[in-house]
Chain A
Amino acid sequence: MANEGMVRRVEIDHNRFRQIVRGRIKKDLHRFITQGEFLTRKGRDVVSVPLPQIRLPQFRFGRSESGVGMGEGDPGTPLEGDAGSSGGGPGGDQAGEHVLEVEVSLDDLAKILGEELELPRIEPRGTRRFSAVRDRYTGLRRAGPESLRHFKRTFKESLKRQMIQGTYDPAQPRIMPIRDDRRYRSWNMRLNPESNAVIIYMMDVSGSMGSEQKEIVRIEAFWIDTWLRSQYRNLEVRYIVHDAVAKEVDQHTFYHLRESGGTKISSAYELCTKVIEERYPPSEWNIYPFHFSDGDNWSGKDTEKCVRLLEAELLPRVNMFGYGQVKSAYGTGQFKGDLDEHFKADERLVTSDIQSRESILDSIREFLGKGR
């Protein structure tokens, strides 16, 4: 067997495996979405997904109750590490129960989501923000690392100087560059116009929003994030919580805070408006506010205030405004009805009823299905 004859087929088989992984995720998207737990972030752009179904089933023993090990310890000492897999027997070949964890990039996830929900690509607007792109080394500057020195130009500069000084002798052409002569390669900055987006999450954290409701919001926010991130190069996210009063918080607080006041939704919409006015001119930004609540507002008057804010301040500035009503034991769910009534025909406002985890997928489709 010649050494060159080593045939490797791993890329083919590996790609086939990735294809199958993708297919499985797509097929089970609903399940993945409703069970928000499993997706652990691994680094910035990659998520780890457990896929037990990829194992080939066989007739095998269930989790073994007992087995044999080697080491110190009295009866009662627990085994270190998870010995919950195949019994410590040394025979046999297959590894135990550990579920296969496959890494998937956020981009891939977004694509799968987009395909499965048939989400249209977003037409962004506003391109004021520029990101600098380093061009090739076609520029020149006077300082830099030696590895970038530009010999010819340095030489030229020295030559020029020496000729002016009169120290140049053509018969004995010796050039002594001084520091000022040195020239170095450098890059030119090319400005690349980019589209950006900002998501402003608002959540009702009054007493009626329990941990299950918050979990639903968290899951939905993750997928909205993932999708929008794949559509925009630059994505910023702001978090606002409110009960009777609104305040801006960080991500962790957003998902864990629990207040117990009454609920004044207008406070959140006001703060949202303020945030937009301060930092996100609509000419340059694609703005996506999402508000989640159980629909129980303080009063009809406050609801009216919200409607006015939406009409006058928010809707004109944003790509779309999403309102997700999570079902809770305490909320009346009045707010959604009110919004729907006022903004029946307005495409910029999208409301969605989220009864339970099962509805998350549909809700996402509702929000993102318009391609705004």
Chain B
Amino acid sequence: MNLTSDLVALKERLEEIARGYGLDFFETFFELVDYDEMNEIASYGGFPTRYPHWRFGMHYEELDKGYSYGLQKIYELVINNDPCYAYLMGCNAPVDQKMVIAHVLGHSDFFKNNLWFSKTNRKMVDQMANHGVRIRKHIEKVGLEEVEGFVDVCLSLENLVDAHSPFITRRSPSRTEEEVEDEARRIEVPRIRSKEYMERYINPPEYLEQVKKKLLEEARRRKRTFPENPERDVLQFLLEHAPLEKWERDVLSIVRDEAYYFGPQAMTKIMNEGWATYWHSKILTERCLADTELIDYADHHSATLGTQPGRVNPYKLGVELFRDIEDRWNRGRFGREFDACDDLETRRNWDRQLNQGRAKLFEVRKVMNDLTFLDTFLTEEFCERHKLFVYQWNPRTNRHEIASRDFRQIKEGLLRSLTNLGHPAIAVLDANHKNRGELYLTHSWDGQDLKYDEATETLKNLFRIWQRPVHLETKEEGRGKLISYDGDKIGSQEILPSA
């Protein structure tokens, strides 16, 4: 539903204020929805349409019951797209609408300017629709259960991607079926450099074919590992080398594309939420709130920032960090001199009046992701002020308990949970294991064990795609472990870790 004229006026006013502060966002369209519609939209992650799958139905049911997702998720669903689409709930009071609009503009600015989003597909709304069309086509041809089952298999593997690969060599984000198919047939063959018109003579196709064959044979003979280096983008590897049907390859590439699209959002959750909160707070309290709205605003705003004991609220952490950065860069509380200063009094009263805070914020929002953000700006003073702690599982009392407020441990704990988006780091080590074409994956163990039962189920899914025995090397409580699946049963044995 279209916005009312009041809301349109409100939106325009807020946009003006936001631009005044220096925010630079995509054109943003708001749609007015009711509670039910909001739930539906949220089930699809904010997109008007996606490929058919039962998990969207599952999200819907959870949302409908008011489970999981807190207020935050419902309040504003913003898509990283140009133009940006967002939603307002019709039943909300004007003060809430202001908050949401301002918050959304903050997100939009972040999507547009943060580097980690620079390679994402800004026409994802259309792309999602396209994915839906393709999958429906496959369903029609192959059957619902088959396609659905295969989508499930792919989703099970969707975290096996390389978050950094968009910045290395990235294939075009929106590939058609044909492009995907062609790529699979290509194996890189060293060519002699030549000018375009000479290509046919210097590197004739027959010659290339021959070389390609020879290379493959050689590789097999010399038992050179294939891939040469551990491949983190497992999905891409599978796309190129697994014996997939055409429709299967298409489905897998769709799942991969979407995983890459959402990757940056997962990588910058704290910053993004902190940024949007910072701005909605500033815009409202400094420019836009009527006196009568103050209490309601404070109430709703604090609800968003409420901390569930035992969790870190990304909104709160993000906004407090940004405010801390602003304060520090205003007062010059950084750099070698400041770090070296030991005297508490001096430190407390340190104020060089640099007033670089705002500029610093904009710079930070452009360049960093959660990992670098926290690594760079989480200080001991900050942790103390905001009462961060590390908790541990106590096997005697059978519960989690506060363990320490040691700064180093806190920082390490946070950084660890953010590394690789909280997923285990897994790569393809050898696709010709035992010289029998078996797939060998390795998990870079960093102290955290994998969940065993899910790992075995996931291996089965991997087998479904690779069609030959698959292995995963990992560690359990420090001891090397190899889990395998040969199509029939799961095997598990202790091994000496290979790396």
Contact = CB atoms under 8 A, between A and B. Distances in A.
Contact of A71 (B65, B158, B309, B453): B309
Given A16-B57, A89-B312, A68 B156 contact: no
B45 to A, nearest CB: 11
A91 B270 contact: yes
Interface string A11-25: 011111111100000
A56 B48 contact: no
Contacts of B37: 8
B366 interface: no
A87 B118 CA distance: 30
A43 B270 CA distance: 39
A266 interface: no
A46 to B, nearest CB: 12
A70 B458 contact: no
Given A61-B424, A62-B448, A71-B389, A78 B397 contact: yes
Nearest to A102: B61
Interface in B30-70: 31, 37, 40, 43-44, 48-50, 52-58, 60-62, 65, 68
B391 to A, nearest CB: 6
Contacts of B387: 70-72
B386 A70 contact: yes
Given A14-B61, A84-B400, A89-B416, A60 B450 contact: yes
Interface string A68-90: 11111111111111011011111
Nearest to A18: B57
Given A9-B52, A73-B402, A100-B58, A79 B454 contact: no
Interface residues of A, number: 59
A71 B417 contact: no
A164 interface: no
Given A66-B393, A88-B417, A91-B417, A8 B400 contact: no
B458 A59 contact: yes
B451 A60 contact: yes
A86 B156 CA distance: 18
Contacts of B317: 70, 90
Interface in B371-407: 371, 386-393, 397, 399-405
A interface: dominant SS: loop
A56 B56 CA distance: 13
B57 A10 contact: yes
Contact of A92 (B48, B399, B417): B417
Interface residues of B, number: 90
B155 interface: yes
A58 interface: yes
Interface in A53-67: 54, 56-67
A60 B155 CA distance: 13
B227 interface: no
Contact of A62 (B60, B443, B449): B449
Interface in A30-70: 54, 56-70
A5 interface: yes
Contacts of A8: 37, 40, 48
B400 A61 contact: no
B247 to A, nearest CB: 19
B326 interface: no
Given A89-B422, A91-B370, A69 B270 contact: no
Contacts of A64: 393, 448
Given A17-B57, A67-B413, A75 B311 contact: no
A59 B266 contact: no
Contacts of B229: none
Contacts of B267: 91
A208 B262 CA distance: 61
Contacts of A63: 393, 451
Given A69-B402, A70-B312, A93-B421, A58 B390 contact: no
24 contacts: A6-B48, A9-B56, A12-B52, A12-B57, A13-B56, A14-B56, A14-B60, A17-B55, A17-B57, A57-B458, A58-B157, A58-B158, A58-B159, A61-B422, A61-B448, A61-B451, A69-B311, A75-B402, A75-B405, A76-B402, A78-B401, A90-B313, A90-B370, A91-B370
Interface of B: 1-2, 29, 31, 37, 40, 43-44, 48-50, 52-58, 60-62, 65, 68, 85, 125, 148, 152, 155-160, 262, 266-267, 269-270, 307-314, 316-317, 370-371, 386-393, 397, 399-405, 410, 413-414, 416-418, 421-424, 426, 443, 448-455, 457-458, 461, 472
The 6 A-B residue pairs with the shortest CB-CB distance, nearest first, are A89-B417, A92-B422, A17-B57, A79-B310, A57-B457, A83-B310
Given A88-B417, A92-B422, 10 more contacts: A8-B40, A8-B48, A9-B49, A13-B53, A59-B426, A66-B393, A78-B401, A92-B417, A93-B422, A95-B68
Interface of A: 1, 3, 5-10, 12-20, 54, 56-81, 83-84, 86-93, 95, 98, 100, 102-103
